[in-house]
Structure 1
Amino acid sequence: MIYELNHVGGRVRDLDASLEFYGGLGAEVVDRLFMSGSRVNRVHIQLATGLVELLHHEEPDEQATYGLNHVGFMTDDLDGDYARLMALGYDELSSPRVAGSGQGRLAFLSDPNGVRVELLQRSEEFRVPPITSGAVQAFSYVGVAAPDLDAAAEFYGTHLGMEQVADDTFRLGADAVKLLPSATTTIDHLGLAGTPSGNPVADPDGNRVAFA
């Protein structure tokens, strides 16, 4: 069973710059690991309740795309949930395998609008109690592209088991996804509650952060 929206993550150009940006919002580092096989630094930071996974490759790659590019969900039955979603016709990106970190197993698939979805089965828990000492008082949602809104609602609500808490918003565990028909990137922005308010800002890789 899929039981938690665990994180939003992606590749960063400059890990220190990203940590400085999110640290300025009150984020705390809750996990740090170097994956020697791929030579990737993986850092989980927490904003309020939400985990953000920063992946920094030591070897530069001119062809790489940077920024948030997937949402990760926890499951207690990776093989069963992945097979069920494949049988429903969703696109396979990476079949179940041992994670590069060695922490459990993972798989990737695509939602109906091309958003990369990671399924994770592991025993490690990186989340700490809600952090409310900085500018971010709540992690409201991850905004994901949903030009086909009905198909996205069926995927997240019916097939991932998320609770619909608004016309366009689905929650599982502490955090939520918001479906955005007009988004121009698969992960459009992070919706946060707190201060500062006003126009969205962006992290060093161009990921938008919107306060409400």
Structure 2
Amino acid sequence: MIHKLEHIGVMVKDMDASIRFYTEVLGLNLVKRVALADGAELGFLAFPGSEHIQIELVGRGQEGQSDNGIVHHIAFTVSDIQAEIDRLKGLGVKLMDEQPRTILDGDLIAFFFGPDGERLEFFQPAAK
């Protein structure tokens, strides 16, 4: 079952500059900043009191990256990611991930496409 909008991911060229903009200009708080093993860096921001919906800044540190500033994906929180993947398969939805991937501290993600090729993500938080 899909529970809520989790986050909207935006590709950025300069993580520090983007965090400054979203915090100083728009008033969001930096919730978490992490570096991934593949060289990507993630920055999660939310408005005070609304931490349950976030903007995820996705940085690769590459100059001239063609998708900087582009909304990269929209993520939805789910309770059973494998069941949702199976449901999408049954509906003929084009998948990027046939199986969930584990990131950060055990969170599960899986990407798929909407009808116009927009990138969407299912996110299942790690059991704590």
**Distance of aligned partners of 1:116 and 1:16 in 2 relative to their CA distance in 1, 3 Å threshold:** same
**Is 1:56 aligned to 2:70, yes or no?**
no
**Is 1:101 aligned to 2:116, yes or no?**
no
* Equivalent position to 2:67, from 54, 65, 80: 65
Partner of 1:123: 126
Return 5+ residue gaps in structure 1 as ranges: 126-212
Q: Please show how residues 1-212 of structure 1 align to structure 2 within 5 Å.
A: 1-23=1-23, 24-35=25-36, 37-47=37-47, 49=50, 50-58=53-61, 60=62, 62=64, 64-66=66-68, 67-123=70-126
Question: Structure 2 length normalisation: TM-score?
Answer: 0.84
Post-superposition offset of 1:44: 0.2
Q: CA RMSD in A?
A: 2.1
- Report the secondary structure of 1:92's partner residue: coil
- Per-residue CA shift, 1:6-58, capped at 9, x if unaligned? 000032101122112111111100111111x2112111001363300011113
Partner of 1:186: none
Return 5+ residue gaps in structure 2 as ranges: none
Q: Runs ≥4 in structure 1, deviation > 3 angstroms?
A: 61-64
% same residue: 27
**Distance of aligned partners of 1:124 and 1:71 in 2 relative to their CA distance in 1, 3 Å threshold:** farther
- Larger Rg over CA atoms: 1
Q: Does the Cα contact within 8 Å between 1:96 and 1:105 map onto a contact in 2?
A: no
Q: Does the Cα contact within 8 Å between 1:32 and 1:42 map onto a contact in 2?
A: yes
Q: Work out the number of aligned pairs and report it.
A: 123
Post-superposition offset of 1:123: 2.8
Distance (whole Å) between structure 1 residues aligned to residue 121 and residue 54 of structure 2: 14
- Per-residue CA shift, 1:152-189, capped at 9, x if unaligned? xxxxxxxxxxxxxxxxxxxxxxxxxxxxxxxxxxxxxx
**Distance of aligned partners of 1:102 and 1:96 in 2 relative to their CA distance in 1, 3 Å threshold:** farther
- Report the secondary structure of 1:93's partner residue: coil
**Distance of aligned partners of 1:10 and 1:94 in 2 relative to their CA distance in 1, 3 Å threshold:** farther
Post-superposition offset of 1:63: 5.2
- Per-residue CA shift, 1:122-166, capped at 9, x if unaligned? 2379xxxxxxxxxxxxxxxxxxxxxxxxxxxxxxxxxxxxxxxxx
**Distance of aligned partners of 1:42 and 1:63 in 2 relative to their CA distance in 1, 3 Å threshold:** closer
Q: Does the Cα contact within 8 Å between 2:105 and 2:126 map onto a contact in 1?
A: no
- Report the secondary structure of 1:70's partner residue: strand
- Report the secondary structure of 2:115's partner residue: coil
Larger RCO, structures 1/2 (Cα 8 Å, 6+ apart) = 2
